Structure 1
Amino acid sequence: MRLLLFFVLLISPLINAQDVSTITVSPIDTIATLKADQFIGVDSYGNFYYLKNRALYKKSKEKTIQFSDLRLGQISSVDFLNPLRITVFYAETNTALILDNTLNEITRINFNESEPFRNVSHARTASDRRLWIFNTDLQRLELFDYQNNTVDSNFTPQPDIALAIAGDFNTCWVLTEAYLYHYNQYGSLLSKQENKAISDIFLFDEKLFSIQNDKLFIKLDKNPQWELLKNLPQDSNQFYLKGGNLYLYRPDLISIYKLNLPKS
């Protein structure tokens, strides 16, 4: 009996160690100083995107270019899922712009002039000619073809307004006060999870992140549980994930952390 008790005590720390999350975040470097109102992210070529004084900036080692249209108000969101067709959304004036990689305007989508009229609270890139939008008149997500002014997929209306949406070419997440919904491009609801503390969501490199009580969490694959990213500075809510590197912005400073995830 004593031998058995000793064996249990011996293996207990090993069992507990296996329960600890294998997600680790380690600092790599502090690479740049940046004065911005909001950090958007970094592309494959190392260009930084950020907002300052109601303008969008793209900063490379050689030069900095900018885009602004003050008549449209404050920029609500910028999505460069496709850096050749950047989506800039202005909720104040119900308008989305598509910019090229030199920040020149390609297309302007004025939802006030669309038929039928749409009140849109959020807009993200879905493909070269489509946007994920949240229609507040119908309380639903829509996959909107802005070239043909058509809705490609019908989604079930929701009882709550969207606090945030995050999407890529295939799926879109919708955050409300009560739930977090996950849809595919065909209109199917993939999952519905109760929202207890999430205030914002982000989707980078097919990884879903959330802000909960000013802390950064990640959701792995189909696991309903959120994993806290430890060892990060407080209020780490301006960030971007690219190639396994987590670019973290704090006032005037961009730092890189290596995000090590468990092998699938």
Structure 2
Amino acid sequence: MRNVLLFIFFCISTLCAQDSLEVSALPLDTAVSLKAETFIGVDSYNNFYYVKDRALYKKSKDKTIQFSDLRLGAISTVDLLNPLLITVFYAETNTAVILDNTLNEITRVNFNAIENFRNVSHARTASDRRLWIFNTDLQRLELFDYQNNRVDSNFTPQPDIAVELASDFNTCWVLTENNLYHYNQYGSLLEKLPATSLANIAVLDESLFGIQDKKLYIRTKQSASWQEIKNLPQDTKAFYLKAGNLYLYRSEKISTYTLKLPKS
């Protein structure tokens, strides 16, 4: 009898532990119509950012403003990590443009024209007016100070090129065909994982998110494995994370969810 009770207790404990690590989403009663080629994200004032016809748009309740420079080609990525210093990257012309919160240009970095020319495949916002960039000439991540046109941190070269970058101010994930690398701002490799088939990776509070087969997955800091987020629709095209909220873009609508994450 004692063994049976111990077995039941073990099963209950295991189920509770699994449930405590499960990530789920709770839908909120909000849905916004949006016709966009690429949904970028949302800021703290519920302004929506998206790309359409080679232009970046910022849409509020009252008005819509835009930034475009057709000479630079198609927009590759837009980073809203700091809405006061928005990074718009054009891989076609090797150029990053930094915008303020009214989409006026602050500065632009033409990597073709700077000293120590470099070919850049990706650019993301970092801290202190710097950019995370992937230098394809040297096959490595770099932390680039665009105010002083210098590289602040050098990283170890990688055997394969970057497919995507996901970052916050202090760390950066580099996804390649074979591996997923995690670096800090000082050039140290924190983690190296086998690559997955996930795309559209993003970071929030040390958790990593990505889409596979139109489903959203998460790798939390409590777990080394990827898991599908429960209670979400199965046709996710794009997503954005802000202040604990998850914004999904699907069927020309933005739906908002709150995430139930494991406790630290």
Aligned equivalents of 1:199 and 1:243: distance in 2? 22
Equivalent position of 1:136 in the other structure: 136
Equivalent position of 2:13 in the other structure: 15
Cα 1:59/1:204, change in 2 over 3 Å: farther
Aligned equivalents of 2:10 and 2:130: distance in 1? 53
Structure 1 runs of 4+ aligned residues shifted over 4 Å read none
Equivalent position of 1:31 in the other structure: 31
1:221 aligns with 2:221: yes
Letter in 2 for 1:159: P
Aligned equivalents of 1:188 and 1:9: distance in 2? 45
Cα 1:131/1:54, change in 2 over 3 Å: same
Aligned equivalents of 1:93 and 1:123: distance in 2? 13
Letter in 1 for 2:143: L
| Stretch of structure 1 that moved more, 57-66 or 216-225 | 216-225
User: Contact 1:163–1:200 at 8 Å: present in 2 too?
Assistant: no
Structure 1 counterpart SS, 2:5: helix
Structure 1 counterpart SS, 2:177: coil
Q: CA deviation at 1:199?
A: 3.0
Structure 1 counterpart SS, 2:230: coil
Equivalent position of 1:121 in the other structure: 121
Aligned equivalents of 2:240 and 2:231: distance in 1? 17
User: Contact 1:205–1:241 at 8 Å: present in 2 too?
Assistant: no
User: Contact 1:193–1:224 at 8 Å: present in 2 too?
Assistant: no
Aligned equivalents of 1:210 and 1:169: distance in 2? 19
Cα 1:211/1:6, change in 2 over 3 Å: same
User: Contact 1:205–1:242 at 8 Å: present in 2 too?
Assistant: no
1:171 aligns with 2:174: no
- In angstroms, what is the RMSD of aligned CA positions? 1.6
**Structure-1-length-normalised TM-score:** 0.94
Aligned equivalents of 2:11 and 2:224: distance in 1? 26
Letter in 1 for 2:79: D
Q: CA deviation at 1:22?
A: 3.0
User: Contact 1:84–1:99 at 8 Å: present in 2 too?
Assistant: yes
Q: CA deviation at 1:240?
A: 1.0
User: Contact 2:219–2:226 at 8 Å: present in 1 too?
Assistant: yes
Q: Aligned ranges for residues 203-218 of structure 1 at < 5 Å?
A: 203-218=203-218
User: Contact 2:222–2:262 at 8 Å: present in 1 too?
Assistant: no
User: Contact 2:200–2:238 at 8 Å: present in 1 too?
Assistant: no
Equivalent position of 2:94 in the other structure: 94
Q: CA deviation at 1:230?
A: 1.9
Q: CA deviation at 1:221?
A: 1.7
Aligned equivalents of 2:7 and 2:230: distance in 1? 28
* Cα-to-partner distance string for 1:98-151 (whole Å, 9 max, x where unaligned): 001100111011111122111100000012421000000000000011111110
User: Contact 1:175–1:200 at 8 Å: present in 2 too?
Assistant: no
Q: CA deviation at 1:227?
A: 2.3
How many residues of Structure 1 are paired with residues of Structure 2 in the alignment?
262
**Structure-2-length-normalised TM-score:** 0.94
Aligned equivalents of 1:175 and 1:220: distance in 2? 17
User: Contact 1:172–1:183 at 8 Å: present in 2 too?
Assistant: yes
| Stretch of structure 1 that moved more, 190-199 or 15-24 | 15-24
Equivalent position of 1:253 in the other structure: 253
Letter in 1 for 2:56: L
Listed as ranges, the gaps of 5+ residues in structure 1 are none
Equivalent position of 1:155 in the other structure: 155
Q: CA deviation at 1:32?
A: 1.1
